[in-house]
Structures are given as C-alpha cells and as structure tokens.
C-alpha cells in the first residue's frame, strides 16, 4: 500500500486574484491502528462543495483551461470586491469534496474486519482516489450496496432527517420545503410519507410538480403559477405547517422566505376570533439552509411579530441532538439507502472531466435535476 499514489482535486485562490483548480498527486498513507484506507469510487458534487471548490467570489465568465490529463489547470478570476473575504484561504492549495463512497482496501490492526466493506463517509477531500480516515467516521453499508449508492449517504440524507428532527425539537407538527424536487427534497417527501408528517413542497416548474406527485406528495405549490400564494395558504391551512426550510435564500426574486412567513400568518388567522395589532400569537419559523439563488433575501413584514428567520446547518444540529440520535439517523440511512435515500445523477465525470469549463458552468448553476458524480478512478 505504501507504493500507491493518489490523485486529488485542489482549489487555490492566489494573492493575484486567480482561482486555480488542478489535479495533485500524493503518497497514500498507511492506516493507523483505528484507521481505514478507502478506495474512493464515487463522490457527488453538492451545492455545499461549491463554496470551497469554486467559491462564491469566482467570475465564471472568465473561466479558461490549459493542459490535459493530470496536468489540467482551470482558472477563473475572483471579483475584486470580494477578494478581502477570501483572505483566510489565499495561496493555500485546498482539498475538496465533502462526502463519497468506496471500498476499504486496508485497515489498522484494530479494524481489520472492515477490509472489503463498502462505506459512505463525509471526511472531506473526497475528490480523491484514496482517503485514510478514522474507522468510526465511516458508515458501513449492507452487503449488496454499491459505492455509487453509498456516495450520497451523509449530506442530503442527514439534512433531510435533520429537518424532521428539528420539527420535533421545536414543537412544530408539519413542514414547508423549497427546491422540493431536488435529491434532498425527494428524500424528504419519502421520509414524511413514511413518518406521517404533513409536508408542503414548493417548486418552480410543472415538471417538478409531476415528479413529486409520482412520489406520492400531497401538497405541492409552484412559484411560477399565478395562484401560488393561494395554493400556499390553502396548504398551510390544511397542514398547520409553521416551520419552513428554504434551500434558495433568494428564491422568487428574493421574496420566497417572506412569502412563506406571510402565508403562515394568513393561515394562522383564518380561524382567529379576535384581532391583534401585533398579529397572531402563532410562532412561525423559516430556516435558510442553502444559497441556490444569490438574490438578496427580501422581507416585506406582513406576518406579525411572532416569527423567526435564521440559518440552519447540519453540523451544529448534530451537536444539538447528540451522538445517540445521530447514530440512529445514520443507521436509518444505511438501511434505506436504496429506497428512501437513493440519489439520482445526471452525469459521471472523472477528476479531469470535472475541471472542464463547460462542466463547471453546468454544475455551478445548482439546477434541480442536474447532479454530477465524480468517479476518481475513471
């Protein structure tokens, strides 16, 4: 194993204001006593990967590529006004890729029994051919699970489960979710159907409506429809949903989070018997957990004074619920990876292919129904 070399993607922003994406080669380490060596066979490109891979400050219009094979380098400019925010990472060649799936090919003396197992792992630097990580960080899959199936076993599945657990923790009884036709959104639909949780799904295309209906979703509202707000209010009246999770941040011209809160307020007042100048006393909460739309979030405050808008991130949530609940969630993902938590990919790319300008422009759009899978040994 000591003679193996591993190729991996690196992202570096230089002091001169250039973002360089390249392929680096390094020695494969020998696993420690409680570590495993994973041959990474599949790793998804999630929206959460893009902040490090290409950063929000990159100018995609300036993209260019040189070299070929392992010598491929793709370059973009950084918007001058955003260089200051990049200061902590300047001139650092950074490994990329949050999660992936693969097969354990070597292991330390305390975990030898894991050799040959297919695992999912969120260990960082997963756009790599090999990763050496603590065995406890791996999610061991049931026999018959492929690396492709295991590749997306952390970010989306645990986020979707995190939404329902947050609902329970904060004493809500139903959910609203935007960008609901995404892989994560489809998982949430399946979870809520299985767990009997009312879920209001918000999408922006009729094809997304059709997709969710085929999964069994009952409540679906399309922001492109003229009666979107009426649909949303009607669904909220029926479900009583007072907790929303917004993947867009700036959806529907920046108004989406505010529209959800406003619709919740209207729904809460449907059966009110007394008027209050402060609005209903029903607490309404929307969490923004993604930035699929860079448009600024706009709030037209028409939802009283009992409301909240904040951010939601998986890592702090895990700390909040504790390891016992986290392990319970992981076990469910492994058990249902071929059903509830199955992911769909539109294209598989090698390390070199993921650096192609056309590929970057496509997956950087973060469009629903467009998800790339990196296969490092391709």
Cα R_g (the chain), whole angstroms: 22
Q: What is the pLDDT of residue 13?
A: 98
Q: What is the pLDDT of residue 33?
A: 98
| Burial class of residue 322 in the structure, from the number of CB atoms within 10 Å of its CB (0-12 exposed, 13-18 middle, 19+ buried) | exposed
Phi, psi of 325 (to 5 degrees): -65, -40
Question: Tokens 């390390």 correspond to what residue?
Answer: 351
Cα–Cα distance measured from residue 97 to residue 160, given in angstroms and rounded to the nearest whole number: 20
Q: What is the pLDDT of residue 237?
A: 97
Cα–Cα distance measured from residue 82 to residue 285, given in angstroms and rounded to the nearest whole number: 31
- Provide the token pair at 348: 């598989």
Q: What is the pLDDT of residue 293?
A: 87
As its CATH architecture, domain 5-152+344-374 has Alpha-Beta Complex (3.90)
pTM: 0.94
Instruction: Kindly give, in sequence order, each residue whose CB lies less than 8 Å from that of residue 133, ignoring residues fewer than 6 positions away.
Output: 35, 36, 38, 121, 123
Q: What is the pLDDT of residue 184?
A: 97
Domain 155-318 has CATH 3.40.50.1400: no
Cα–Cα distance measured from residue 278 to residue 16, given in angstroms and rounded to the nearest whole number: 52
DSSP, res 90: B
| Burial class of residue 289 in the structure, from the number of CB atoms within 10 Å of its CB (0-12 exposed, 13-18 middle, 19+ buried) | buried
Q: What is the pLDDT of residue 1?
A: 46
Q: Are 260 and 287 in contact (CB under 8 A)?
A: no
Q: What is the pLDDT of residue 271?
A: 78
3-state SS track over 169-205: HCCCCCEEEECCCCHHHHHHHHHHHHHCCCEEEEECC
Q: How many CA atoms are closer than 13 Å to the CA of 369, on its beta-carbon side? A: 9
Q: What is the pLDDT of residue 276?
A: 83
**For the chain, domain boundaries:** 5-152+344-374, 155-318
pLDDT in tens, 189-233: 999 999 999 999 999 999 999 999 999 999 999 999 999 999 999
Are 5-152+344-374 and 155-318 equal in CATH topology? no
Which residues of the chain are modeled with pLDDT < 50? 1
């Amino acid at each position: 194993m000591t003679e193996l070399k591993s190729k991996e993607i690196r992202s570096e922003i230089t002091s001169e204001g250039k973002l360089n994406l390249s392929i680096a080669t390094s020695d494969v380490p020998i696993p420690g006593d409680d570590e495993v060596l994973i041959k990474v066979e599949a790793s998804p490109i999630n929206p959460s990967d893009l902040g490090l891979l290409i950063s929000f400050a990159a100018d995609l219009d300036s993209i260019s590529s040189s070299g070929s094979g392992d010598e491929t380098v793709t370059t973009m400019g950084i918007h001058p006004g955003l260089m200051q925010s990049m200061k902590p990472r300047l001139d650092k060649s950074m490994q990329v890729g949050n999660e992936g799936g693969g097969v354990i090919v070597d292991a330390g003396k305390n975990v030898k029994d894991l050799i040959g197992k297919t695992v999912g792992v969120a260990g960082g630097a997963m756009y790599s051919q090999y990763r050496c990580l603590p065995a406890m960080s791996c999610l061991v899959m049931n026999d018959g699970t492929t690396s492709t199936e295991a590749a997306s076993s952390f970010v989306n599945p645990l986020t979707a489960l995190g939404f329902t657990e947050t609902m329970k923790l904060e004493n809500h009884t139903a959910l609203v979710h935007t960008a609901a036709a995404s892989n994560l959104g489809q998982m949430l639909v399946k979870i809520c159907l299985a767990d009997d949780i009312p879920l209001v799904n918000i999408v922006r295309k009729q094809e997304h409506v059709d997709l969710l209906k085929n999964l069994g979703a009952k409540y679906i509202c399309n922001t492109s429809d003229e009666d979107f707000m009426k649909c949303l209010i009607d669904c909220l009246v029926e479900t009583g949903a007072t907790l929303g999770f917004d993947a867009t941040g700036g959806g529907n011209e920046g108004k989406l989070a505010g529209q959800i809160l406003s619709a919740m307020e209207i729904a809460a007042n449907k059966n009110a018997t007394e008027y209050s100048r402060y609005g209903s006393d029903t607490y309404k909460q929307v969490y923004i957990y993604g930035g699929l739309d860079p448009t600024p979030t706009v709030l037209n405050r028409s939802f009283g004074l009992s409301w909240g808008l904040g951010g939601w991130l998986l890592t702090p949530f895990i700390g909040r619920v504790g390891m016992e609940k986290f392990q319970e969630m992981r076990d469910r993902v492994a058990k249902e990876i071929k059903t509830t938590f199955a992911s769909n990919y539109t294209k598989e790319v090698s390390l070199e292919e993921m650096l192609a300008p056309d590929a970057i422009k496509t997956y950087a759009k973060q469009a629903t129904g467009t998800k790339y899978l990196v296969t490092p040994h391709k």
